[in-house]
């Protein structure tokens, strides 16, 4: 756990709304890139404990309006691991304040989803020290992917038909999403 926290960027919680908690930090490398991490509560019945964990670059347009892009390709290549550790340090902060919640993470494109799972696998010991990690498999899920919206399911997902398994790196290709719960030691 300590390497997770000690190797993270400094961050600030900028919103603690129960429906969406947000953290900001700056990725430092070739450029300084402001980033946001958000935990957004799912509105669907049956998912009362679940939050989507998302992150992306903060953009401010010429009118001063802020937007977040998780599709941005503007990133510092040399700090990917530090960004990931910052995401999980913020997740730890969020879950320590909301210990019965469950975070879900998935890439909005097939390539990003694969990259997130590879990065998780490379840092699994640190992340497992704080979290119970499960892979979610949605049987018969069909996905359509395009460059504007990323990947989207072709039909409504029946949450009663999701198979949750203790995370296994050897099976990570089959996971449609990954969940994180805080371990009892940290509650």
Query: What SS3 string covers the chain?
Result: CHHHHHCCCCEEEEEEECCEEEEEEEEECCCEEEEEEEEEECCCCCCCCEEEEEEEEEEECCCCCEEEECCCCCCCHHHHHHHHHHHHHHHHHHHHHCCCCEEEECCCCHHHHHHHHHHHHHCHHHHHCCEEEEEEEECCCCEEEECCCEEEECCCCCHHHEEEEECCHHHHHHCCEEEEEECHHHC
Could you list the residue range(s) of the whole structural domain that residue 130 is in? 2-186
Which residues touch 146 (CB under 8 Å, ≥6 apart)?
A: none
Contact 23, 90 (CB under 8 A): yes
Structurally, the chain folds into a number of domains equal to: 1
Strand 50-60 vs strand 102-105: parallel, antiparallel, or unpaired? Answer: parallel
The closest of 3, 19, 22 to 11, measured between CA atoms, is 22
- Crossing angle of helices 80-97 and 110-122, rounded to 10°: 80
* pLDDT band at 28; cut points 50, 70, 90: very high
Q: CATH number of the domain at 120, please.
A: 3.40.630
Q: Report whether 144 contacts 169 (CB < 8 A).
A: no
User: 145 pLDDT band (50/70/90 cuts)?
Assistant: low
pLDDT of the residue at 59? 84
Give the dihedral sign, CA 49/50/55/59.
Answer: negative
Could you read off the pLDDT of 32-61 as tens digits, one per residue?
999 999 999 998 888 899 999 999 889 888
pLDDT at residue 150 greater than cutoff 70: no
The pTM of this model reads 0.86
């Amino acid at each position: 756990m300590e390497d997770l926290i000690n190797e993270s960027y400094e961050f600030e919680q900028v919103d603690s709304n129960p429906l969406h908690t947000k953290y900001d930090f700056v990725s430092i490398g070739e450029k300084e890139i402001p980033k946001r991490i958000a935990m957004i509560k799912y509105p669907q019945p049956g998912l009362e404990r679940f939050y989507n964990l998302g992150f992306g670059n903060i953009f401010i347009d010429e009118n001063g309006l802020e937007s977040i892009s998780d599709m941005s390709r503007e990133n510092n290549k040399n700090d990917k691991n530090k960004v990931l550790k910052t995401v999980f340090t913020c997740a730890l902060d969020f879950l320590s304040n909301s210990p019965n919640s469950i975070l879900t993470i998935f890439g909005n494109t097939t390539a990003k989803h694969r990259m997130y799972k590879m990065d998780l696998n490379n840092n699994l010991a640190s992340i497992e020290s704080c979290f119970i990690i499960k892979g979610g498999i949605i049987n018969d899920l069909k996905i359509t992917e395009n460059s504007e919206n990323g990947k989207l399911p072709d039909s409504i997902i029946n949450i009663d038909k999701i198979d949750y398994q203790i995370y296994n790196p050897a099976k990570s290709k089959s996971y449609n999403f990954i969940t994180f719960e805080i371990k009892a030691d940290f509650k």
